[in-house]
Amino acid sequence: MSASAATSGASIVATEQDLHEIGEIVARHAQLEGPLLPMLHALQDMFGHVPQAAIPVIADALNLTRAEVHGVMSFYHDFRKAKAGRHTVKICRAEACQARGANTLAATALAKLGVEWHGTTTDGAITVEPVYCLGLCANGPNAMVDGRVVAGLDETRLDALLAEART
Q: Which stretch binds ligand FES (CB under 6 A): 29-37, 60-68, 95-103, 111-119?
A: 95-103
- Residue 137 is labelled as binding a ligand: yes
Contacting residue, 46, 115, 133, 144, with ligand FES by CB under 6 A: 133
Contacting residue, 36, 39, 142, 158, with ligand FES by CB under 6 A: 142
* CB of 58 or CB of 134, closer to ligand FES: 134
Q: How far is the CB of 99 from ligand FES (least distance, A)?
A: 8
Q: Please name the residues in contact with 72: beta carbons below 8 A apart, sequence gap of 6 or more.
A: 36, 37, 40
Bond into 141 cis (ω within 30): yes
Residue closest to 140 by CA, chosen among 104, 101, 106: 101
Phi-psi group of 104: left, alpha or beta (phi > 0 → left; psi -120 to 50 → alpha; rest → beta) = alpha
Q: How far is the CB of 78 from ligand FES (least distance, A)?
A: 16
Question: How many CB atoms sit inside 10 A of residue 80's CB?
Answer: 18
Q: Does 153 bind ligand FES (CB under 6 A)?
A: no
Q: What is the x/- site pattern for ligand FES, positions 65-94, by CB under 6 A?
A: ---------------------------x-x
CA distance from start to end of the chain:
42
Contacting residue, 14, 73, 97, 113, with ligand FES by CB under 6 A: 97
CA distance linking residue 15 with residue 67, whole number of Å: 23
CA 153 to chain CA centroid, Å, is: 22
- The answer to whether 138 and 125 are in contact (CB under 8 A) is no
* CB of 76 or CB of 132, closer to ligand FES: 132
Annotated binding site for [2Fe-2S] cluster, which residues? 92, 97, 133, 137
Provide the binding-site residues for ligand FES, judged by CB under 6 A: 92, 94-97, 133-137, 140, 142
